[in-house]
Amino acid sequence: MTIDFSKLAVEGVQKLNPYQPGKPIDELAREFGLNPADIIKLASNENPLGPSDKALAAIEKELKDLTRYPDGNGFELKKVLSEKLGVTTKQITLGNGSSDILEFIVKTFVDTGDEVVVSQHAFAIYGLVTQMQGGKTIQVPAKNWGHDLPAMVEAITEKTKVIFVTNPNNPTGTWNTKAQLDAFLQAVPDRVLVLLDEAYFEYVDKPDYPNGIDYLAQYPNLVVTRTFSKAYGLASLRVGYGVSSEQLADLMNRVRPPFNVDSLALAAAVACVKDENYVRQSKALNDQGMAQLEAAFDQLNVNWIPSVGNFICFEVPNRAMEVYQGLLSKGVIVRPVANYEMPNFLRVSIGTEQENQRFLLELKDLLAE
């Protein structure tokens, strides 16, 4: 007798479509018979600078203890983060990437039938973790490709448990100002949790861009998440964190799996927190690359969405997937965003100057066809 296990799975999982990451280099090499060394990946908002030398040294030092479990409480990482951010160690929750924290907050507070408010064109993981938990995702239409915060407040009902706000947003790169966030947080009821996702925080230097950590003392219903995957260059090691009230952190730590951050990631992250020069170099490289792409898009008469992340969306009306496939065949991986209700756009991560130039040359040729 054959058993259909999909019918035994919980309802939220039965209807779930898995998250689709950017295409890996090895997979593209197999599909097109390309040399992996000739492929550039500009699809997953990764740091093109290469890892910090201090992070590599910390990893090497940790290798001799691979037979031991990591520090389940992440004492050293919490210590350096608390000193850097001006919070207590009890306010910090560590995650296997900041996406872990998103899941913890939903697991802790969302039950079957509860509502979670998100913005159109926001990070797909929010809806996935809500659906797995049996919650209902309420999507609010975007405004100028970004979060319409007043409309998100209007979407709150008695069933609302969590609101996700991404600042800057992925995949559009748009951002909300300090004045907008001030008004939003004042309007959200105390009983509704706000998760402010700041995965790209280190790349932003706009004078009106808010620092979520500054709001924690005033808003005990706020959780701020950040990651070491982007500006700190540790995407492969998967380490991120949330900062909140001590009470919220305690609750999230009850659902956090033991040893969810491995020892290599912990050691590398500690080193990266102390390596401020590396982050400055990452941002400088990103600023230069963003200016390079924006100027080239203008020359090519390609529309683009202003971004403060390490990526930018550009418009290819009615040809997005055709151009995407054409770039793949040339060994250039970017990211289609049709699943974010943006069928005419592609997202490209900022690479090195040489990687950006190669992408632009291949794009120019494809657009001329």
Strand order in the sheet with 92-95: 92-95, 240-243, 222-227, 193-197, 160-166, 115-119, 136-140
Q: Is 70 exceeded by the pLDDT of residue 14?
A: no
pLDDT at 1: 52
4 pLDDT higher than 90:
no
Helix (H, G, I), strand (E, B) or coil at 190: coil
Residue range 311-327, pLDDT digits in tens: 999 999 999 999 999 99
d(CA 286, CA 212): 22
Q: For 249-274, what is the mean pLDDT?
A: 95
Predicted pLDDT of residue 12: 64
pLDDT digits (tens, 9 = 90+) for 84-111: 999 999 999 999 999 999 999 999 999 9
Domain ranges of the chain: 9-50+277-368, 53-275
Q: What percent of the chain has pLDDT over 70?
A: 95
Mark out the alpha helices in 86-122 (DSSP H runs): 98-109
Architecture of domain 53-275: 3-Layer(aba) Sandwich (3.40)
User: What's the confidence (pLDDT) of residue 135?
Assistant: 94
| Spatial separation of the C-alpha atoms in residues 38 and 43, rounded to whole Å | 16
Q: According to DSSP H, which parts of 192-275 are helical?
A: 246-255, 263-274
99 and 240 in contact (C-beta within 8 Å)? Answer: yes
Q: Is 52 helix (H, G, I), strand (E, B) or coil?
A: coil
pTM of the shown model:
0.92
pLDDT score of 37: 83
Quickly state the pLDDT bin for 345 (edges 50, 70, 90): very high
Instruction: Give Cα separations from 140 to 3, 16, 65, 225, 301 (angstroms).
Output: 39, 20, 48, 21, 31
Indicate whether 273 pLDDT > 90. Answer: yes
CATH number for the region 9-50+277-368 comes to 3.90.1150.10
**With bands split at pLDDT 50, 70 and 90, how would you rate the model's confidence at 43?**
very high
Determine the average pLDDT of the residues in 107-136.
93
Report the pLDDT value the prediction gives residue 29, as an integer from 0 to 100: 81
Q: Check pLDDT > 60 for residue 276.
A: yes
Rounded distance between C-alpha atoms, residue 175 and residue 339, angstroms: 20
Mean pLDDT value across residues 126-133? 90
The single-letter code of the amino acid at 84 is: K
Q: Taking residues 117-144, report their average pLDDT.
A: 94
pLDDT for the residue numbered 180: 98
Q: Is 76 helix (H, G, I), strand (E, B) or coil?
A: helix
Contacts from 317-325 at CB under 8 Å and sequence distance 24+? 317/344, 318/344, 320/344, 320/345, 320/346, 322/366, 323/363, 323/366, 323/367
pLDDT of residue 36: 83
pLDDT at position 362: 96
Q: How far apart are CA 134 and CA 138, in angstroms?
A: 13
CA angle 62, 67, 68 (to 5 degrees): 75
Q: What is the pLDDT of residues 283-308, one digit of tens each?
A: 999 999 999 999 999 999 999 999 99
From the number of C-beta atoms within 10 Å of its C-beta (0-12, 13-18, 19+), residue 179 rates as exposed
Q: What is the rounded CA–CA span in Å between residue 163 and residue 48?
A: 32
DSSP-derived 3-state class of residue 137 = strand
